[in-house]
């Protein structure tokens, strides 16, 4: 297994670590972070989530730079992304820090686009990530991280950045899903 795929696998292995820390009933005290007290286990979970999210960029960069793009990587990378985002939002819903309606819309889009990619794959076609899909991913990561960190930096200036990010993430997620289906409707016509 090449290095980019090992990095992707590490992202998958970090998921249970941040989930346990985020939703676990730990009482490790609090950490003062940019003007707010955050439960220490949420802070550590957020750091692990941010590191796991950064591996998404790192594995892609490494694979392209050293020409190590593989079919396994093409399969594992988006799967790891979906698992990471699903774990983050489901966990946040479970501890009442993220609205369930937003999580349902986000996860519905993720599964729908994954299904589209599977149908395309069956037809011998690979659907690459679009610019909207990349912006969607960035917004999801930022939203989850800001919420895990209890909106701390923005509380100082009295800006509900976490709420803004929830709506922005839902809008970008839904729009990118529509964009994928509009640009790839030929996939369904070929498979009928």
Q: What is the pLDDT, as a whole number, of residue 154?
A: 67
pLDDT of 77 higher than 80: yes
User: Are 120 and 127 contacting, i.e. CB atoms less than 8 angstroms apart?
Assistant: yes
The pTM (predicted TM-score) of the whole model is: 0.90
pLDDT of 175 higher than 90: yes
The domain spans of the chain are 3-191
Domain 3-191 fold is: 1.20.120
pLDDT of 186 higher than 70: yes
3 state SS of 145: helix
Q: What is the pLDDT, as a whole number, of residue 122?
A: 78
**For 32, phi and psi rounded to 5 degrees?**
-85, 120
pLDDT of 118 higher than 90: no
Q: Which residue has the higher pLDDT, 79 or 16?
A: 16
Q: What is the pLDDT, as a whole number, of residue 157?
A: 67
Q: What is the pLDDT, as a whole number, of residue 192?
A: 65
3 state SS of 96: coil
pLDDT of 152 higher than 80: no
Tokens encoding 181: 């289906």
Residue 191 pLDDT class (50, 70, 90 cuts): low
Taking Cα atoms as reference points, which of 84, 82, 79, 98 lies closest to residue 148? 98
Percent of the chain with pLDDT over 70: 96
Taking Cα atoms as reference points, which of 29, 126, 30 lies closest to residue 77? 126
Q: What is the pLDDT, as a whole number, of residue 180?
A: 92
pLDDT of 102 higher than 80: yes
Per residue in 24-71, pLDDT (tens digit) is 999 999 998 877 889 999 999 999 999 999 998 999 888 889 999 887
Residue 153 has, within 13 A of its CA and on its CB side, a CA count of 8
Residue 185 pLDDT class (50, 70, 90 cuts): confident
Strands (E), the chain: 30-33, 36-39
- Compute the distance between CA of residue 135 and CA of residue 169 in angstroms, rounded to an integer: 9
Q: Over range 153-157, report the average pLDDT.
A: 65
Q: Which residue has the higher pLDDT, 188 or 174?
A: 174
Ramachandran area for residue 41 (φ above 0: left; ψ -120 to 50: alpha; else beta) = alpha
pLDDT of 155 higher than 70: no
């Amino acid at each position: 297994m090449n290095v980019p795929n090992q990095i992707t696998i590490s992202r998958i292995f970090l998921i249970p670590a941040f989930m346990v820390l985020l939703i676990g009933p730990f009482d490790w005290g609090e950490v003062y972070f940019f003007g707010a007290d955050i439960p220490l286990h949420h802070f550590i979970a957020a750091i692990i989530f941010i590191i796991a999210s950064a591996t998404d960029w790192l594995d892609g960069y490494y694979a392209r730079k050293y020409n190590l793009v593989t079919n396994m990587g093409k399969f594992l990378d988006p799967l790891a992304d979906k698992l990471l985002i699903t774990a983050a939002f489901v966990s946040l819903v479970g501890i009442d820090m993220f609205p369930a309606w937003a999580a349902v819309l986000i996860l519905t889009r993720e599964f729908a686009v994954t299904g589209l990619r599977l149908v395309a794959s069956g037809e011998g076609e690979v659907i690459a990530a679009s610019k909207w899909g990349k912006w969607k991913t960035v917004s999801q990561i930022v939203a989850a991280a800001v919420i895990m960190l209890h909106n701390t930096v923005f509380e100082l200036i009295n800006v509900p950045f976490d709420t803004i990010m929830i709506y922005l993430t839902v809008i970008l997620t839904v729009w990118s899903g529509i964009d994928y289906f509009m640009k790839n409707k030929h996939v369904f016509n070929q498979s009928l």
